Chain A
Amino acid sequence: MTEARITLDGRTLEVAEGDTLLDAARAAGIEIPTLCHDDRLDPFGGCRMCLVDLEGTRRPVPACKTTCADGMVVNCGGERLQRVRRTMVDMLLADHYQDVAVKDNELERYAVEYGVEQPSLRFDRRGAYDDRNRFIGFNPGACILCDRCVRYCDEVMQCTALEHAGQGGNALVQPTQGKSFLDTTCELCGGCVSTCPTGALYEKQATRNGAVTEQECAKTSTICTYCGVGCSLDLNVKDGRVIKVTAETGVGANDGHLCNKGRFAFDFIHHPDRLTEPLLRGDDGELHPASWEEALARVADGLGAVKQQHGPDALAFLASSRCTNEDVYLLQKLARAAAGTNNVHSCAAT
């Protein structure tokens, strides 16, 4: 691999071919602010938050989009860049006039960091976007036109269900041709939500009973219950309920990506149809609630009677491949060691 040597804030760094200045800075532990950047997307250079001074150029260059070349001398800090970044935050805040506050807001964090308490200008030029889908909330009043969502949809999902429409003061991001998310090629994966830095796109399910912020939730890192890809995800729980599902970039087999099921199909957990007590079939042919003691005694009697009359191989055990390894291990042990039969299987043979 070809390497280049650059000087960053006075430090000499060896970098790999193709690395951007942002990559090099991060590897060296030097922080450069970004808003339009997502490691999973092509470098964009739109928000100008990552401007750095490159010796030999008149104007600062975006670190996310500038490839390292041998001999570059770069400065990431200093008063001039601070001023530039402060101005950028100020300008971006002008368009950020509503906040549903469900998601962590990167822009507001920078506003605090750069001391922009009130923006110099305040526009209020985009109307609400009421969409009938139940998963993806969209609040154009918080959008800063960084296009992360549009690019995610184009580059990662390759669905092209979002567009950056209009120009200048009329520019806005919207589902294709301003339709509902349900009527475009959108697959409801919510990747746009996950990459949005300001919460303009947010999880609607987290607002069902009043907006719940990420800080209010306890996160449990686990694995998705649907297909065999095994995506890592975080269950965000408040008051004993899953409020939403998020996934962190750089973690697990999925690098922060999820599909519509992994991200949004969790209502079943709290569904009123959940079984909450053991049931026994009565003489009337109906199922009736019972205690665990009664239910376990009935299981032992029923299985025991069949075993006694017809032998252990008249018993069959079936496990779901949705259960954990530990559950299934114990089920086959139940069949083999407790009941005495190898009749244990599932539809997992395929």
Chain B
Amino acid sequence: MTNSMAEIEDTECMFVIGSNTTEAHPVLALRMKTALRRGAQLIVADPRRTWLAERAHIHLQLRPGTDIPLLLAMSQVILSEGLQDRAYIEALTENFDEFAASTAAWSPERAAEVCGVGAGDIRRAARIYAQTEKAGIYYTLGITEHVCGVDNVRALSNLALITGHIGREASGVNPLRGQNNVQGCNDVGNNPVYLPGYQEVADAEVRAKFSAAWETELSAVPGLRLDQMMSGMLDGSVKAFFIMGEDPVLSEPNAAKVNRGFEQLDFVVLQDIFLNETGRLYADVVLPASCFAEKDGTFTNSERRVQRVRKALDPPGQARTDLWILQQVAKALGSDWGEQSPAQVWDEFADLSPKFHGIRYDRIEELGIQWPCPDRDHPGTRFLHQGAPIRGKGLLYGLDHVPPWEETCAEYPLLLTTGRTLYHYNAATQTRRSEGHNEKQGHPFVEVSPDDARALGLKHGDRLTMASRRGEIEVRAEVTDRVHAGVLWMPMHFAEASANVLTGDGKDPEIGVPEYKVTAVRILTS
């Protein structure tokens, strides 16, 4: 997030796109609810009529995978009606002409047709967003999990830049992180091209610094991204996997293909708190690890705040902390790092990473600190890009509609999109082990519009088979007007009806993020 969560309460216009905030980020959504009570305007762009959508001043119920046309049309309205922040554009952006030219083809009328929303609503949304002083954009995976995920984010960044809605309190572009430590996981270098602290592997000076600190030579060969690892198993370039706390068989798209890949591996290690599907089927070694309640450390939340995690319990049986396990594995591979405490590991990271240099355990006992925080006297950073974009000038992008990897056809006429519910969490290894949560929501289901249900002869609660070109699953029908005709929605939490049996190989060409959000399917009724 460019901004802090507390600032949401002071926002005057919230543009929520591809985020079912009240279910996926319930406590952050409380800030939005407060802003609503205080009179903020709310624009929601989402294929589903979510809780926020029901209360929105404008709900743009677009077809999945049509975000760019919508955002280009909003940009066109802003430019053609003179609602842009000319001074900001002139002084602090670049590439305006290419961007402006790319909006020309996307009139609200044309976008309305592609997106399935009203042209008047696009105009009104653009005006409200542009003309409100404090306007914030909030998005999650509904934006990023597309073949054009990166361009979707650029389209949002364009909107913020041309209206000057960035670099100020309560105005910015805010991805809401889905998992407790997505932010931190990236920060500490869990990335094939970045060493810790967003320092590039390709930079020889950076490599030399880490090489000296770690007392070993470092490879300059850029690593594989997750999607490349998945395809690497099939082409034979990846032969072994060390997995800490993930379940790729369930959570990666096109499960059948992922399974074929794992079958070809020489060696698989799983370090986890439960024996997941990947481990059950393919692990040669399973190492019992610790959950959050059993270790010390830090998580970094969506607003870049590094916060202390504290041990309350011992791990069960022979299970060990992840830190201990990793130190032992390194030692077994010939690298003895000693037994560093979590604080010592953090210090090693912070010593090597300028943006995090000032954050130390003794400073975050009470309240976490938001990075960038370059030195020990720095208070941390509440919102980014103050005064000017960090890179100097905000780069505007010329964009165009990118159709989904897979479109509907006569054989697979329905469009399936996926998401999270309030009562479960991702692959649900934790929440489905809670009886109370299972009682509230215990079965896989798919949301079907009343029109589609009628056409298919489906009643609420009917069992049905849903098939894509990759596979099929059995679920129950939830007939609801939350989705439009032609669009289906299902949660990703149920292993017995995993959405990833259906999802395909579409991915963003720049960063490889899979297109979980659009799959062509058909429904077979018995």
Contacts and interface: CB of A to CB of B under 8 A. Distances in A.
Interface of A: 132-135, 155-158, 182, 187-189, 218, 220-232, 235, 237, 240-242, 252-254, 257-262, 264-271, 273-281, 287, 292, 295-300, 302-306, 309-310, 312-350
A232 B219 CA distance: 39
B246 A319 contact: yes
Nearest to B28: A229
Contact of B422 (A187, A267, A340): A187
Contacts of B185: 319-321, 323, 325, 328, 346, 348
Interface of B: 5-6, 24-28, 30, 33, 37, 141, 144-145, 149, 176-193, 195-196, 201, 210, 214, 216-219, 221-226, 229, 232, 237-246, 248, 251-252, 266-267, 269, 272-275, 280, 283-289, 291-295, 297-303, 305-314, 316-320, 322-323, 326-330, 332-335, 337, 342, 345-346, 348-349, 367-368, 422-423, 425, 429-431, 433-437, 439-440, 511-513
B229 A345 contact: yes
A178 B274 CA distance: 39
B433 A242 contact: no
A33 B433 CA distance: 42
B302 A338 contact: no
A276 B288 contact: yes
A156 B35 CA distance: 11
Contacts of A275: 272-275, 286, 288-289, 319
Given A269-B313, A273-B433, A339-B333, A325 B145 contact: no
A296 B242 CA distance: 13
B454 to A, nearest CB: 27
Most A CB atoms within 10 A — which of B37, B310, B311, B312? B312
Top 7 nearest A-B pairs by Cβ distance?
Answer: A230-B301, A276-B317, A228-B177, A320-B245, A324-B297, A342-B223, A134-B436
23 contacts: A134-B435, A135-B436, A182-B440, A188-B423, A220-B312, A242-B313, A257-B27, A273-B275, A277-B317, A292-B320, A298-B285, A302-B267, A302-B269, A303-B333, A318-B243, A328-B181, A328-B244, A334-B329, A337-B218, A345-B190, A348-B179, A349-B191, A350-B182
A305 B291 contact: no
B464 to A, nearest CB: 25
A228 B300 CA distance: 8
A329 B30 contact: no
Given A182-B440, A273-B274, A333-B214, A340 B219 contact: yes
A142 B232 CA distance: 62
Contacts of B300: 230, 325
Given A273-B275, A329-B189, A316 B242 contact: yes
A274 to B, nearest CB: 5
B330 A338 contact: yes
Given A324-B309, A328-B181, A346-B185, A227 B24 contact: yes
Given A240-B313, A326-B297, 17 more contacts: A226-B425, A229-B27, A230-B299, A261-B437, A270-B316, A278-B288, A279-B283, A303-B240, A303-B242, A316-B232, A322-B292, A328-B188, A329-B349, A330-B322, A334-B329, A335-B242, A344-B223
A287 B309 CA distance: 32
A253 B305 contact: yes
Contacts of A341: 219, 221, 223
A7 to B, nearest CB: 32
Contacts, number: 451
B183 to A, nearest CB: 7
Contacts of B229: 316, 318, 343, 345
A222 B267 contact: no
Given A155-B37, A336-B219, A278 B318 contact: yes
A156 B244 contact: no
A2 to B, nearest CB: 19
A194 to B, nearest CB: 12
Contacts of B5: 229, 253
Nearest to B286: A279
Contacts of B189: 328-329, 332, 344
Contacts of B305: 230, 253
Given A229-B28, A229-B301, A287-B286, A345 B244 contact: no
A306 B313 contact: no
B30 A277 contact: no
Contact of A279 (B285, B303, B309, B330): B285
Contacts of B322: 323-324, 327, 330
A345 B179 contact: no
B310 A296 contact: no
A241 B289 CA distance: 17
Contacts of A337: 214, 216, 218, 330, 335
Contacts of B316: 270, 274, 276
Contacts of B301: 223, 228-230, 253
A260 to B, nearest CB: 6
Nearest to B306: A325
B1 to A, nearest CB: 9
B285 A302 contact: yes
A297 B30 contact: no
Contacts of B181: 228, 321-325, 328, 348
B297 A259 contact: no
Contacts of A266: 293, 434
B248 A222 contact: no
Nearest to B266: A306
Contact of A268 (B280, B291, B327): B291
Contact of B242 (A254, A298, A317, A322): A317
Contacts of B513: 349-350
A317 B329 CA distance: 13
A310 to B, nearest CB: 5
B176 A344 contact: no
A294 to B, nearest CB: 9
A302 B329 CA distance: 12
A187 B23 CA distance: 9
Contact of B293 (A182, A222, A309): A222
Nearest to A256: B27
A188 B440 contact: yes
A332 B436 contact: no
B180 A316 contact: no
Most B CB atoms within 10 A — which of A223, A252, A280? A223
Contacts of A278: 285-288, 318
Most A CB atoms within 10 A — which of B188, B295, B323? B188
Contacts of A268: 273-274, 291, 429-431, 433-434
Contact of A322 (B180, B223, B313): B180
B266 A302 contact: yes
